[in-house]
């Protein structure tokens, strides 16, 4: 057998036969996805959200604005364009949008809240300025639709960083690497075999987790599955390469796992796994651009929730590819058997 394939096989068997790790890798993301979808399934937003555009009149001139059950959110057209705000309506982040510039109001025909608000506006007593109705369409995005790329991405991150970073450090510490160094195997073929094995494991578990939770939760999927697989594959490569940098020198597992965690947690928090980065401090958003996870989550959400195609996610793909290259070169310059 070819040495590369033999090493891929050995590493994969090690993973599959290590029952604890294997099931944890599958179970952890499943628990998270189901857990969050349960926790956030209750309809907490009893209050209506209404966006305002243009010159907002006094509420005495337009009594709809006195509605106590609604939260009114004014947008400044100098800072945000109209289409972006309409998009929020499509994505059910708003229930209605009043556009005083265009003398019209928008509702989403898929939104029950929107229809209730429309009934109010059909009453001239509330709609003194006689805004005209415009309809947009868009299915409601549940929190879990939004969350699932983040959770799977987070699991990919852990699995890549530890499955490569930590495991190679363990090999170095217990002497497996020394034994391999005594054979004609090159560091390059050893490392690429580790990468390949981890790549298929993580890609497969990610797909299984997605498909498994999708049966019950029926995620919104507007884009193409091929693009989703493409960005997932690239992100996995990128995260493995990042893990390799830490695998290249460390001799102690404790040190390795400490450093890996130190890096993973900020990445998870700043990459927008659990909450949107919109509205966070600009510095934080800038830092987040350096994390592979950010680009994966951004791209995957765009594909699933906005139906983004290849061209729209291309910037994310290019960034991930560039990072992968950078990490790989760094890791190969640093790598030492012992």
Partner 1 sequence: MQVEGLHKSYGALKAVDGIDLEIPRGSCFGLLGPNGAGKTTTIEMMEGIVKADDGRILFKGKPIGGDFKKKVGIQFQNTALPEFITVKETLELFSSFYPHPRPMDELIELCSLLDILNQDNRKLSGGQRQRMLLALAIIPKPEMLFLDEPTTGLDPQARRNFWKLIEGVKAEDTSILLTTHYMDEAQLLCDYIAIMDKGKVLECDTPQKLLEKHFKGVLIRLPHDGDERELPQGAVITGGNLEMQTVDLDASLKKLLSSSYDLTGMTIDKPNLEDLFIKLTGSSLRT
Q: In this chain, which of 18, 109, 135, 254 binds partner 1, going by CB under 8 A? A: 18
Residue count at the site for partner 1 (CB under 8 A)? 26
Nearer to partner 1, 61 or 186 (CB): 186
Nearer to partner 1, 251 or 289 (CB): 251
CB 124 within 8 A of CB 130: yes
Q: In this chain, which of 181, 221, 253, 277 binds partner 1, going by CB under 8 A? A: 181
Q: Which of 144, 130, 187, 98 is nearest to 301 (CA)?
A: 144
Q: Which of 180-188, 195-203, 261-269, 319-327 is the region at the interface with partner 1 (rule: CB under 8 A)?
A: 180-188
Residues of this chain, 217-236, that bind partner 1 according to CB under 8 A? none
Tokens of 292: 């592979």
Tokens of 318: 């290019």
Q: Does 200 help bind partner 1 (rule: CB under 8 A)?
A: no
Q: In this chain, which of 26, 73, 185, 233 binds partner 1, going by CB under 8 A? A: 185
Cα–Cα distance, 157 to 240 (Å, whole number): 8
Closest separation in Å from C-beta 246 to partner 1: 20
Q: In this chain, which of 43, 124, 183, 283 binds partner 1, going by CB under 8 A? A: 183
Q: In this chain, which of 39, 77, 129, 176 binds partner 1, going by CB under 8 A? A: 176
Closest separation in Å from C-beta 88 to partner 1: 50
CB 189 within 8 A of CB 3: yes
Q: Write 134-137 long-range contacts (CB < 8 A, 24+).
A: 134/104, 134/105, 134/106, 134/107, 135/106, 135/107, 135/108, 135/109, 136/86, 136/89, 136/90, 136/106, 136/107, 136/108, 136/109, 137/90, 137/108, 137/109, 137/110
Cα→Cα distances 293→238, 255, 270, 305, 315, Å:
9, 23, 9, 17, 14
Tokens of 296: 């994966």
Q: Does 192 help bind partner 1 (rule: CB under 8 A)?
A: no
Closest separation in Å from C-beta 164 to partner 1: 15
Q: Does 122 help bind partner 1 (rule: CB under 8 A)?
A: no
What are the residues binding partner 1 (CB under 8 A)?
1-3, 5-7, 9-11, 13-15, 17-18, 171, 174-176, 178-179, 181-185, 338
């Amino acid at each position: 057998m070819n040495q590369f394939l033999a090493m891929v096989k050995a590493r994969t068997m090690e993973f599959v036969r290590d029952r604890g790790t294997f099931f944890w890798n599958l179970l952890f993301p499943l628990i998270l996805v189901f857990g969050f979808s349960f926790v956030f399934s209750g309809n907490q937003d009893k209050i209506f959200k209404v966006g305002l555009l243009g010159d907002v009149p006094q509420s005495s001139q337009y009594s709809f604005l006195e509605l106590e059950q609604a939260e009114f959110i004014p947008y400044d057209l100098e800072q945000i364009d109209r289409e972006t705000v309409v998009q929020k309506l499509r994505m059910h982040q708003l229930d209605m949008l009043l556009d005083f510039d265009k003398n019209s109001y928008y509702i989403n025909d898929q939104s029950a809240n929107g229809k209730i608000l429309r009934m109010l506006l059909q009453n001239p007593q509330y709609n003194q300025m006689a805004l005209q109705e415009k309809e947009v369409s868009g299915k409601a995005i549940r929190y879990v639709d939004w969350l699932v790329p983040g959770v799977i991405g987070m699991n990919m991150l852990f699995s890549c960083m530890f499955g490569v970073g930590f495991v190679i450090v363990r090999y170095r510490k217990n002497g497996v690497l020394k034994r391999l160094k005594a054979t004609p195997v090159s560091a390059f073929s050893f490392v690429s075999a580790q990468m390949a094995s981890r790549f298929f494991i993580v890609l497969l578990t990610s797909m299984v987790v997605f498909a498994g939770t999708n049966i019950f939760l029926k995620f919104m999927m507007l884009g193409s599955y091929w693009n989703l697989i493409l960005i997932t594959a690239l992100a996995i490569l990128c995260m493995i390469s990042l893990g390799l940098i830490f695998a290249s020198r460390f001799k102690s597992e404790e040190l390795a796992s400490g450093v890996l965690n130190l890096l993973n947690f900020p990445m998870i928090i700043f990459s927008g796994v659990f909450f949107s980065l919109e509205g966070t401090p600009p510095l934080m958003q800038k830092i987040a651009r350096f994390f592979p996870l950010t680009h994966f989550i951004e791209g995957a959400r765009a594909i699933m929730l906005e139906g983004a195609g290849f061209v729209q996610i291309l910037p994310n793909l290019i960034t991930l590819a560039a990072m992968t290259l950078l990490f790989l070169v760094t890791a190969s310059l640093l790598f030492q058997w012992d």
